[in-house]
Chains A and B, each alone.
Chain A
Amino acid sequence: MYVAVKGGERAISHAHAWLAALRRGEAAVPELELAQIREQLGLAVDRVMAEGACHDPDLAALAIKQACGDLIEAAFLLRAYRTTLPRFGASLPLDTARMRLWRRVSATYKDLPGGQLLGPTFDYTHRLLDFSLAAPGAPPPAPAEEACAAAAAAPRVSDLLADEGLMQPEPRAESEPPDLTRQPLACPAARPLRLQALARGDEGFLLALGYSTQRGYGNAHPFVGEIRQGAVAVEFTPPELGFPVQIGEITVTECQMVNQFLGSRTEPPQFTRGYGLVFGRGERKAMAMALVDRALRAGELGEEVTAPAQDQEFVLYHADNVEATGFVEHLKLPHHVDFQSELENLRGIRAAAQAAAATLPEAAE
């Protein structure tokens, strides 16, 4: 009986062997290859890279396989790997204006320089199950040449508004931005730190928070100024060279939300920006992030902070799903030592109350 509550080495290794068998599933079904996950479950790979805060599609695919498709567990695996990597420097800021675009849409203009480019999207599909996908088929034809012709010059919508003086300019940071993975979060957190936390934050959490700002919890009036998706060069300046060299290209999705701002004593009425940027094609996350980023600026813009999405501590301390899942799931660890003292405590209170009740009638006599 006593032994039953204890774990021990054998139980753990048996449990893990069982998990390995479940991961593989029916042996007659061919085993998944990492390339299949990377190529055919690309949005899962993108989400794991974003929340795992590590851009490596092959490792993300491995993590998804190892996690049996549990994407939070996969992000956790990737984070735990990432944290052991040496940090040899920081890249230059990505220049998303020079992005090789696949997709670029603006909701604020009917047409604009560079044009609207729909790109590969679920938008405007009918969500009817496509039973033809149930059986393997020939690969679909490659997209038409004109559909993927990258817009030659597509200035950012925020820059168009800024040229007119209607968009609040972003101050250039003078100091090196803080690094959330090296220093613990401290509130109030400046915007670079907030954006870091949001970029690696849980998509579902940000989605719900962004949604709440649309439903009146936080005074939001957002427009999608622009969503752009494509490949962007990563440049790094090796100290021994002294000039930047391109070390690779990554796919990112950027969302700039344009928001009304009625002005304050020091600032004229203008548009303000909510910003979202994520690895891969995580468009939903980029949009949600942009909504939450704007909501979190309430304090600095002199707006009243009333809603959860505007509350820095609430948002930033709860956005990380690796932290959240660990702490929620730790409740299944044994807690019987504390529970024992609660038992004794409760029994003591009840006994005292009963004793008091028993003496009361006598006192009345």
Chain B
Amino acid sequence: MTETGYNFAYLDEATKRMIRRAILKAVAIPGHQVPFGGREMPLPYGWGTGGIQVTASLIGRDDVLKVIDQGADDTTNAVSIRRFFARVAGVATTERTAAATIIQTRHRIPETPLREGQILVYQVPMPEPLFRLEPRVAETRRLHALADYGLMQVKLYEDIARLGHVGLSYNYPVMVNHRYLMSPSPIPAFDNPKMHRMPALQVFGAGREKRIYAVPPYTAVHSLDFEDHPFRPIRADARCALCGSDASYLDEVVTDDAGGRLFVCSDTDYCGERQARQRRGEAA
């Protein structure tokens, strides 16, 4: 199954070791962005090269890999990345959250709570949480060193003053271990609370920007907010049309051109599991 001519999981062993060192440093300093010698990958920048390099460095022959994009296993880019690892590493793949040892994700955290020993690998487009407020990397590094996050606090305050609440609905900045401001990647703010004290290791890979950062298991992760304006996760006020869930994150599906709408779970594995259980007559 493995393509001849390439090392196990594509990257050469020296590169994997370099990336693992970066991951170890990232784990040791939760939320801190560690520069690493990102390599060109055979998939385009912006399509998950950071996540792929992290996964390629972590994966072993006994691992079981799950890849999701927008919460779903069957979106084209998830299919493409899963195929890539099946091709260059020959590892087992799964769509079951519970069965996976490594889950690579773009834009979502699975609804099923993760457990110890699992690794969640995020694909990150812009690792710098402050980049819209300060585009200069040299300057943002200084701000992180000084833990000077006034720029972001003022931005949130201005949102509240103008809109009545924070205007961010995804890629909502979080404070990790009470020290580093971190981009959770463009997951919906709805998913932010799942990061807090998660039993699984969370590793973030940004290929184009050549940064890796991590949240070790059971680390405090707080979405930025104010006492009188607490953080509020956003979710469509509806039930899933397929499994009836009123707690999962929903995709809105346009069903006709007369305003018809349907809401379904974004997490296809979670939704499928619930439907299977309902068919078996168990309590959902």
CA distance A82 to B266 in the complex (A): 38
CA distance A352 to B162 in the complex (A): 12
Q: Is the CB of B37 within 8 A of A183?
A: yes
Shortest CB distance A259–B (Å): 26
Q: Is the CB of B138 within 8 A of A313?
A: yes
Q: Is the CB of B208 within 8 A of A327?
A: yes
CA distance A345 to B70 in the complex (A): 18
On whether A333 and B77 interact (CB within 8 A), knowing A184-B210, A352-B164, the answer reads yes
Q: Is the CB of B45 within 8 A of A84?
A: no
Question: How many B residues touch the partner, as a band?
Answer: 35 or more
Q: Is the CB of B12 within 8 A of A341?
A: no
On whether A334 and B44 interact (CB within 8 A), knowing A84-B12, A344-B234, A349-B163, the answer reads no
Q: Is the CB of B211 within 8 A of A341?
A: no
Q: Is the CB of A337 within 8 A of B266?
A: yes
Q: Does A120 contact B (CB under 8 A)?
A: no
Q: Which residues of B contact A340 (CB under 8 A)?
A: 188, 236, 249-252, 266
Q: Is the CB of B70 within 8 A of A329?
A: no
On whether A326 and B76 interact (CB within 8 A), knowing A335-B107, A341-B169, the answer reads no
Shortest CB distance A197–B (Å): 13
Q: Is the CB of B36 within 8 A of A184?
A: yes
Shortest CB distance B227–A (Å): 21
- A9: nearest residue on chain B (CB-CB)? B79
Question: Which of A5, A330, A337, A344 has the most C-beta atoms of chain B within 10 angstroms of its own C-beta?
Answer: A337
Q: Is the CB of A343 within 8 A of B252?
A: yes
CA distance A349 to B211 in the complex (A): 35
Shortest CB distance A90–B (Å): 16
Q: Does B259 contact A (CB under 8 A)?
A: no
Q: Does A110 contact B (CB under 8 A)?
A: no
- Residues 102-137 of B, flagged 1 when their CB comes within 8 A of A and 0 if not, give 000011100000000000000001000000000111
The B interface, classified by DSSP as helix, strand, loop or mixed, is loop
Using a CB-CB cutoff of 8 Å, which residues 20-50 of chain B contact chain A?
35-42, 44-47, 49
Q: Does A325 contact B (CB under 8 A)?
A: yes
Q: Is the CB of B47 within 8 A of A326?
A: yes
CA distance A327 to B46 in the complex (A): 4
Q: Does A265 contact B (CB under 8 A)?
A: no
Instruction: Determine which of A335, A337, A352 lies in contact with B71 in the assembled complex, contact meaning CB atoms within 8 Å.
Output: A337
Shortest CB distance A118–B (Å): 37
Q: Is the CB of A341 within 8 A of B37?
A: no
Q: Which residues of B contact A (CB under 8 A)?
A: 6-7, 10, 12, 35-42, 44-47, 49, 69-72, 74-77, 79-80, 83, 106-108, 125, 135-138, 163-165, 167, 169-171, 186-190, 208-211, 234-237, 249-255, 262, 264, 266
What are 16 A-B contacts with C-beta separation under 8 Å?
A: A6-B72, A8-B74, A8-B76, A76-B44, A80-B40, A84-B7, A181-B39, A186-B137, A313-B137, A322-B45, A333-B69, A340-B236, A340-B252, A342-B169, A344-B169, A349-B163
Q: Which residues of A contact B (CB under 8 A)?
A: 1-2, 5-9, 11-12, 76, 79-80, 82-84, 86, 181-188, 313, 317, 322-323, 325-330, 333-338, 340-345, 348-349, 352
